[in-house]
Structure 1
Amino acid sequence: MTGERFPDGGSRTRHVVVMGVSGAGKTTVARGISELTGLLFAEADEFHSAANVARMRSGVPLDDDARWPWLRDLAAWMADRGTEGRSTVLACSALKRSYRDVLRQGPPAVDFVHLDGSAEIIRDRLARRTGHYMPASLLESQLAILEPGEPDESVLVLDVSLTADDLVAAAVDGLDLAAASPVGER
């Protein structure tokens, strides 16, 4: 989805971060939003340094010092796409308010969709997931640091027990994202 053009030549773009703990369905929902609306999709995990990936793969949770550069890179990616007139949807844990604050330093505005639900549902999903470097053992550390959105944040909370299609539809409707033809270049 490209941004609307305004008389001053600028554009207003939309930037959405689908957030939650590992296994909540962030990537599936963010891709679904992208497919339905044309927002440019990115997976935040692909922005991690090799050192961060190795650390998580070995079962060691990232500390804030390891996360700050990653979060700044994500904010810059959204801001750069916004400058190009491109709207984005990003799958990113964004577990703490301070992490979301860094992401908001990129584009002029960021909306968050928090996929929230019972630890049992998420544990079950993690147990069935294959090919991801994040071990299920790190779920507890993520749940421990998760800070729900605060009233002054734009955070739409959705229940992970819904189907992926229902979550996508609820996000698009809840954020009033106009459905658009998918953009040709990803």
Structure 2
Amino acid sequence: MRPLLLVMGVSGAGKSTVAPRLAAALGVPFADADGFHPEANIRKMRAGTPLTDEDRWPWLDAIGAWLDARAAAGEGGVATCSALKRAYRARLLGARPGVRLLYLQGDPALIAARQAAREGHFMPPSLMASQFAALEEPGPEERPIVLSVAAAPEEIVRAALERIADGQGCRRQAAPGEG
């Protein structure tokens, strides 16, 4: 079975930089969560309005459907998603114990500098505070692979590949009552 990964972190952590490189190194498909947002969500974010949980559920379900399709095809894959709250990760990972969680963890000042430097993204830097306020870092029960975003993207990919090969942070056990 090919690896199936969910790369999470706040906006500006480097998900859209690291995840495609990781997918290429693993030889699996890649999907950026931004592509799953309904247009209404994008309009809200462009306007500087944080999304509500009600805005997020269909988005998370679409990402989950992509993960399910990759698993059913035996292809594996790498998807990004901020997945800031435990409830979001439970929705994405709960019935999918084979999905591995990779958390790109970073210092708010470093991520703010990255957000300020990027152009053309619908998530404005003004929403960074709401991202960190919502962030519930993964706990050990989620068996995350946690990597610092302070390193260069190539180093982060190399470290992720090593951790995946070692089986670290992999194969979360389904909790009682989960699929």
The residue correspondences of 1:33-72 to structure 2 (distance < 5 A) are 33-72=22-61
Gaps of 5+ in 1: 4-12, 179-186
Q: After the TM superposition, which segments of 4 or more aligned residues of structure 1 sit over 4 Å from their partners?
A: none
- Say whether the 8 Å CA contact 1:79–1:106 is kept in structure 2: no
Greater Rg over alpha carbons, structure: 1
Q: 1:160 aligned to 2:173?
A: no
Partner SS for 2:71: helix
- Uncovered stretches (5+) of structure 2, i.e. residues with no partner: 168-179
Residues 15, 107 of structure 1: 8 Å contact kept:
no
Q: Secondary structure at the match of 2:104?
A: strand
2:83 paired residue number: 94
Q: Secondary structure of 1:61's partner? A: coil
TM-score normalised by the chain length of structure 1 = 0.86
What is the TM-score with the length of structure 2 in the denominator? 0.89
Deviations 1:95-143 (CA, angstroms, capped at 9, x unpaired):
1111111111454421111111111100110011011111001110000
CA RMSD of aligned residues (A): 1.5
Tell me the number of residue pairs that the alignment of Structure 1 and Structure 2 aligns. 167
Tell me by how many angstroms 1:14 deviates.
2.4
Please state whether the residue corresponding to 2:154 is helix, strand or coil. Answer: helix
Amino acid corresponding to residue 88 of structure 1 in structure 2: G
> Which of the two has greater helix per residue?
2
Work out the CA distance in 2 between the residues paired with 1:107 and 1:86: 15
Using a 3 Å threshold, how does the CA distance of structure 1 residues 62 and 22 change in structure 2: closer, same or farther? same
Q: 1:25-70, CA deviations, whole angstroms, 9 ceiling, x for partnerless residues?
A: 0011101101111121000010000000000010000010100111
Report whether the alignment pairs 1:148 with 2:137: yes
Name 1:183's counterpart in structure 2: none
Inter-partner Cα distance in structure 2 for 1:140 and 1:28: 21
Residue 72 of structure 2 is aligned to residue 80 of structure 1 = no
Tell me the CA shift for residue 166 of structure 1. Answer: 0.4
Matched, 1:127 2:116: yes
